[in-house]
Chains A and B, each alone.
Chain A
């Protein structure tokens, strides 16, 4: 197995080879390796939720309301008799999808603007730098809540509301890194070879700033998942018709005194995922960004 993997790695191009070596390094960090497995399991849970869920997530059965966890309902039932385990499986879809989509948007906008601002400097750079500083004055949750208040609950509204403030950190990180890389000799060499600005940015600088972007993006996925849950908890995130962990925890508030499991268990499921993502991010940082540039 190891030999085959090794042979494949030798044949592969630079990018996949470095991904492979990152995987090798990560395996030495036991916590990060376990975290990677946990994240993988959650993704599988989300993908195969329809096959794994013992009950339809929105099926109400008033005769079976507030059943404690047991053989029939592994994680019990909520105030409408819905199976909490099935709803948690479907909730994983929402959380993971929102987290990944929001971070992807942030990376696409933030990194492309950051590269251009750091590379070309000038007016474009000062406009976006000032604007990003201004946006930083609006705390994440507050800007997202304000935007959701106007847009109304909805899946894509939520993704946009999270990305609106989230790109700023990727912009600042990639701009700073680009500025630092600019002074390196290989950029001068690429210039003297007559490469265009775009070629230098995409082929020369970008590969060198990708590691710290990956670290920040990983940590931010966990953060976005918590934000999504917070907004859904407050009732301004995912609409109530879609099972989401945040709204499940919120629904359990009313019955906290008689049925502890309704709020508690989805919260633990949420926390384990976020913890795994954070551990994975920390592990990746040790491998990819040892100078500890990215703040958590």
Chain B
């Protein structure tokens, strides 16, 4: 039964995906100005160059045909060619995606390591000094612009203490054979411990920058959700049954408390994706976010358009996964 529901939910995402494609498609065409003129911008391009670019982007065709070419192109994995880098956009995305995924997973890890214990312990002793300090800290973390926090981390850990590198993914002197594109995995596969350590050192500051901000949001959600479940009758019943307190917290309360937490995590994936762009720019991380920002400045709008689409689809996929996790956390929930 569960499988049927999951498949139904996945099919339900198809119209959303199509909607995202249509919004991305019309986005470039509805904004004021001729996209070709904006893209060629200051380069004083000739009429012939403009016409050839227009033909390359299919802008000389009727709109419905353009839409069809775009959607069918996406389905085939043909996303067009980057004007600036003269490479297929699909290749560019495939190159930049592994570093971004690697960074995002590291951010998640940092966030969970901080938020889970903080959220649970503050909920067990609401009003205590630990609760008040950490929750004030969490509000500070939410109010703090993450680009500024990244610079503060650089200032302290790199400039002052000299512990961590400030940019890139791996030291240029180290040689690492690329297999998966995920440098931590590649280093482990090839048994290259020096590279593995170096990659982790590079990962630390960018992951902490966004991980702390994400932890601040999640700790608050975990706390309030735990407070709610700890009052539930089944928790009281478990205690009455003589279940030990750690077991009550972990097995009975936490599992149920995670349901709203997972929802918020899904919604906040958007914050993570946007934040990636900033963190990758600060730490010169060779991922998707930095590609988007540099493409904006080189007016490479084909890349911007596809990256925006990829971000939106990631968001849709993340929330699909959240819905599926739901069914495992609480089998009673219908999708």
Q: Mark B123-164, 1 if CB is under 8 A from A, else 0.
A: 000000000000000011011111110011011000100000
A129 close to chain B: CB less than 8 A:
no
B274 touches A270 (CB 8 A): no
B273 close to chain A: CB less than 8 A:
yes
Q: Which of B46-54, B70-78, B179-187, B309-317 contacts A (4 or more CB under 8 A)?
A: B309-317
Partner of A139, one of B16, B155, B224, B274: B274
**In the complex with contacts A137-B20, A139-B273, A229-B145, A264-B151 CB distance below 8 A:** yes
A267 close to chain B: CB less than 8 A:
yes
**In the complex with contacts A150-B301, A230-B145, A137-B139 CB distance below 8 A:** no
Q: Counting chain B CB atoms within 10 Å of each CB, which of A130, A230, A257 scores highest?
A: A230
Scan residues 238-295 of chain A and give those whose CB is less than 8 A from a CB of chain B. 246, 249-250, 252-253, 256-257, 260, 263-264, 267, 270-271, 274-275, 277-279, 282, 292, 295
- Interface of A, helix, strand, loop or mixed by DSSP: helix
B297 touches A267 (CB 8 A): no
B151 touches A263 (CB 8 A): yes
A256 touches B148 (CB 8 A): no
Closest A residue, CB atoms, query B295: A149
Binding site for A on B (CB under 8 A): 16, 19-20, 23, 27-28, 31-33, 35, 38, 139-140, 142-148, 151-152, 154-155, 159, 217, 220, 224, 264, 267, 269-271, 273-275, 277-278, 281-282, 292-293, 296-297, 301, 304-305, 308, 311-313, 315-316
Between A and B, 26 residue pairs with Cβ closer than 8 Å are A130-B19, A137-B20, A137-B315, A139-B270, A139-B273, A141-B275, A142-B308, A143-B308, A145-B277, A145-B292, A150-B31, A150-B301, A226-B143, A229-B145, A234-B281, A234-B293, A249-B148, A260-B155, A264-B151, A267-B148, A271-B143, A271-B144, A271-B145, A274-B143, A274-B144, A296-B220
| Other A-B pairs beyond A134-B19, A263-B155, 16, CB < 8 Å | A135-B23, A137-B312, A137-B313, A138-B20, A138-B308, A138-B311, A145-B296, A150-B27, A150-B28, A150-B301, A151-B31, A233-B147, A246-B147, A256-B154, A263-B151, A296-B217
